[in-house]
Amino acid sequence: MKEIVLDTETTGISVKEGHRIVEIGCIELDNLVPTKNKFHFYLNPERKVSEKAFEIHGYTDEFLSKQKKFNEIVDEFLEFINGKKLIIHNADFDIGHLNNELSLSGKNKISNKIIDTLVLAREKFPGSSISLDALCKRFRIDNSKRNKHTALIDCDLLAKVYINLIDQKEPSFNLVDRNDPVDMEDALINKKTISYSKKVIKPTVEELKKHKEYISKNLKKNYY
């Protein structure tokens, strides 16, 4: 089953105040394993970034003015997410902004099934902090690269958080003896089964006799 982990960055919080998307990032999961398929664009919002938003992601008006506009990448975006479940942290925010951009581009609203990890976290850890950083800390996920909010880094972290939230372990692989001549990569990727056997060596009657004599001779009785 393929899913899309999605995140956006914007010029500000409210769509009603005319704020727009400045970055969109998506990572595809196939049975909870990230694939090589990613979707990522910085976008020209055609307006200034608010001071608060700039503090969060650090994208300047000058940098964004040189990027593509949403209506230039909208078809590629819709094709990428088509028919796939969307995994989003605080989905109301991202979907609200995406639907606004789609409306401005003359497209229909998003109809994909959506899983909001914020809701999952709130149900699982009531009363606890459920920000992405807090969940990374709870699940011991390294978020040291997250100096600023960026869509792809946040998607990567959210994918790991999502797997933990739904109590799924990471994919298991058959372990291979590194001294075995079988190719490691081939065994892991193709999941070949490597059989093992243990050789049990039983002592002879003579060895048992000598062992008993040694114990009697060298160990004191109070050891028994």
Active-site residues, by number, are 149
User: Could you state, in order of their start, the residue ranges of all structural domains in the chain?
Assistant: 2-165, 184-223
Residue written as token pair 């099934």: 113
Q: Are strands 114-116 and 21-30 parallel, antiparallel or unpaired?
A: unpaired
What are the DSSP calls for 84-105, one per residue? -EEEETTHHHHHHHHHHHHHHT
Rounded CA separation 43/20 (Å): 9
Distance CA 215, CA 92 (A): 75
Contact indicator for 48, 137 with CB cutoff of 8 Å: no
What pLDDT, in 10s, does the model give residues 121-161? 999 999 999 999 999 999 999 988 887 778 999 999 999 99
Q: Residue 58: CB partners within 8 Å, gap ≥ 6? A: 148
Q: Give percent helix, percent strand, percent coil of the chain, each to the nearest 5.
A: 40, 15, 45
pLDDT in tens, 194-219: 444 445 566 777 777 776 676 666 55
Looking at residue 190, its pLDDT comes to: 44
Written as tens digits, the pLDDT of the chain (224 aa) is 899 999 999 999 999 999 999 999 999 999 999 999 999 999 999 999 999 999 999 999 999 999 999 999 999 999 999 999 999 999 999 999 999 999 999 999 999 999 999 999 999 999 999 999 999 999 999 988 887 778 999 999 999 999 999 975 454 343 444 344 444 444 344 444 444 444 556 677 777 777 667 666 655 444 33
The Cα 37–Cα 172 span in angstroms is 22
Q: Does domain 2-165 have CATH number 3.30.420.10?
A: yes
Distance of CA 56 to the CA centre of its chain: 21
What is the rounded CA–CA span in Å between residue 44 and residue 47? 8
Half-sphere exposure of 15 (CA within 13 A, CB side): 14
Closest to 173 in 3D by CA, of 149, 150, 203, 193: 193
